[in-house]
Amino acid sequence: MKRFFETIANIFKIEELRSRILMTLGLLLVYRAGSYVVLPGVDPIQLEAASSGATGIAALLNIFAGGAFSRASIFALGIMPYISASIIMQLLGIAVPSVQKLQKEGESGRKKINQWTRFLTIAITLGQAPGYLAMQVPAEAINSPGFMSFTVPSVIILTAGTLFVMWLGERITDKGIGNGISLLIMIGIVAGLPSAFLFEFESQMGDAGGGLVVMLIELVVLLVIILVTVLLVQGVRRIPVQFAKKVVSGQPQAMGARQYIPLKVNAAGVMPIIFAQALMMIPVTLVNFSDNQELTGFAAMFNDIGGFWYNFIFAMMIIIFTYFYTAITINPQQMADDLKKNGGFIPGVKPGLDTANFVDNVLSRITLPGALFLALIAILPAFALKAGVSQGFSYFFGGTSLLIMVGVVLDTLQQIESYLLMRHYDGLMKSGKLKGRSEAFGMAG
């Protein structure tokens, strides 16, 4: 414990790190304050009285937006349109040659892609905002309903709110610590944890609850799930790589270096869950524009996050998307070519095609358990619901919420760790572990 407090003190001794942390906290505070600013023309009291509360997919979006979705805030759509635009640009980078060319142009190409992503974010937000107003803001909560008096100004404000949130995320990435977009999502998720925990505690301690023992069991199960999620996020299969000996002019022969290719068990991260959730929302969205009762009943299956068919289809889609996203983000042939150019080889494997096939086989073997674990974690909230956990608290037992929180916390801690080690301070994690991790990521450099 003493070492921990010394490490915290060391963090604030580094001026650059201290300023970055304070900048990050300040921008996150601005984001949280903006999530409570209600759209002009909306009566928050009437909104709360008329609204039945977010359920199903809408409840998940409300968690990601930190409650701004249900409050009809100026940040109601949050950062999700920007994430959707980023995903679309990634897919275009696979299918469209012109986008592929930009990706290979370095910094200038990256700036152009970022600019296109921003324009696409505006288009997506302009499409989503009218639907949000129609579905989530009841007419009785609007002081002056009307297309020109309320809808048009609100769409403009929601679009500007999303762009401002996007700007906050970029500023955190550039001037703060950690990935800004991920931190904005995480802070929205964490913001709902205290109220969800308090509601669950009151429910369990009430007459119809299971008492303190059941509450303690829930907390132990949650801790175990978090530990398993950490293992999933950090799990790496290291492939040893040997580099040939190099002779430098005028110098003795240098010994060959041995490093590793780190292949993550969950190379796709949280993207398969986001892809799957986006597709699960399509039937519900389309049926909202139809009065057909049969279609309405069919779409209800995709909005029942605790139902069997919803979770079965959801899990299958996550497994498929895990393989798909891993395939488009990791190219074994390119890895084999880079190794060959740099004089590296995998012991016992011929350079070139054999190396590419070897890496592809290893990747296929580790992707299956990674995909199965990812699918299991994604549907754990449904099991928590069936076990009697309240809906708000059940979201923290798995799914996108837990994966994002664990991934963002680990990434931010590693960035802080790197600042401390550069200044010769002990980090928040054991230096031996970090050293091993840096050696494992030697190929990335």
- Average pLDDT of span 246-262: 59
Q: Give mean pLDDT, residues 208-227.
A: 86
* Domains, the chain: 17-191 (1.10.3370.10), 193-445 (1.10.3370.10)
Contact 296, 287 (CB under 8 A): yes
Sign of CA dihedral 279, 185, 263, 256: positive
Average pLDDT over residues 234-244: 84
Least confident range of 19-23, 231-235, 363-367? 231-235
Q: Examine the pLDDT at 434 and tell me if it is beyond 50.
A: no
Check residue 25 and give its pLDDT.
Answer: 92
Q: Over 90: is that where the pLDDT of 163 sits? A: yes
Tell me: pLDDT of 444 over 60: no
CA angle 433/439/440 to nearest 5° reads 90
pLDDT in tens, 329-387: 788 888 888 888 888 888 888 888 888 899 889 988 888 888 898 888 888 888 888 88
pLDDT, one tens digit per residue, over 136-148 is 888 888 888 888 8
**Other Cβ atoms within 10 Å of 10 Cβ, number:** 18
To the nearest whole percent, how much of the chain has pLDDT over 90?
10
Query: What span, in angstroms and rounded, lies between the C-alpha atoms of 439 and 10?
Result: 25
Distance between CA atoms of 423 and 389, rounded to whole angstroms?
46
Which pLDDT tens digit goes with each residue over 114-161? Answer: 899 999 999 999 988 888 888 788 888 888 888 888 889 999 999 999
User: 3-class secondary structure for the chain?
Assistant: CHHHHHHHHHHCCCHHHHHHHHHHHHHHHHHHHHCCCECCCECHHHHHHHCCCCCCHHHHHHHHCCCCCCCCECCCCCCHHHHHHHHHHHHHHHHCHHHHHHHCCCHHHHHHHHHHHHHHHHHHHHHHHHHHHHHHCCHHHECCCCHHHHHHHHHHHHHHHHHHHHHHHHHHHHHCCCCHHHHHHHHHHHHCHHHHHHHHHHHHHCCCCCHHHHHHHHHHHHHHHHHHHHHHHHCEEEEEEEECCEECCCCCEECCCEEEEEEECCCCCCHHHHHHHHHHHHHHHHHCCCCCHHHHHHHHHCCCCCCHHHHHHHHHHHHHHHHHHHHHHCCHHHHHHHHHHCCEECCCCCCCHHHHHHHHHHHHHHHHHHHHHHHHHHHHHHHHHHCCCCHHHHHHHCHHHHHHHHHHHHHHHHHHHHHHHHCCCCCCCCHHHHHHHHHHCHHHC
**What is the pLDDT, as a whole number, of residue 33?**
92
Distance of CA 179 to CAs 62, 154, 404, 407, Å? 21, 29, 12, 11
Tell me the C-alpha distance between 295 and 143, whole Å. 33
Encoding tokens for residue 402?
């837990």
Contact status, residue 161 vs residue 74, Cβ threshold 8 Å: yes
Q: Average the pLDDT over each of 176-185, 241-250, 315-324, 397-406 and give the range with the smallest value.
A: 241-250
pLDDT at 165: 92
Say which residues have a Cβ less than 8 Å from residue 47's Cβ, sequence separation at least 6: 38, 71, 72, 137, 138, 141
Q: How far apart are the first and last CA of the chain?
A: 34
Residue type, 320: I
Over range 168-195, report the average pLDDT. Answer: 87
Say which amino acid occupies 115.
Answer: Q
Q: Are 392 and 195 contacting, i.e. CB atoms less than 8 angstroms apart?
A: yes
Which two three-digit tokens encode residue 264? Answer: 């993550």
Q: What b/e readout covers 372-408, taking b as 16+ CB neighbours within 10 angstroms?
A: ebbbbbbbbbbbbbeeebbbbbbbbbbbbbbbbbbbb
pLDDT at 59 over 60: yes
Total-model pTM? 0.75
Let me know the angle formed at the C-alpha of 60 by 63 and 375, rounded to the nearest 5 degrees.
120
For residue 51, is pLDDT > 70?
Answer: no
CA angle 317, 276, 300 (to 5 degrees): 95
Average pLDDT, the chain: 79
**d(Cα 382, Cα 312) in Å, to the nearest integer?**
11
Q: Tell me the residue length of the chain.
A: 445
> How confident is the model at residue 391, as a pLDDT?
76
pLDDT grade, residue 2 (50/70/90)?
A: low
What is the structure's pLDDT at 440?
Answer: 37
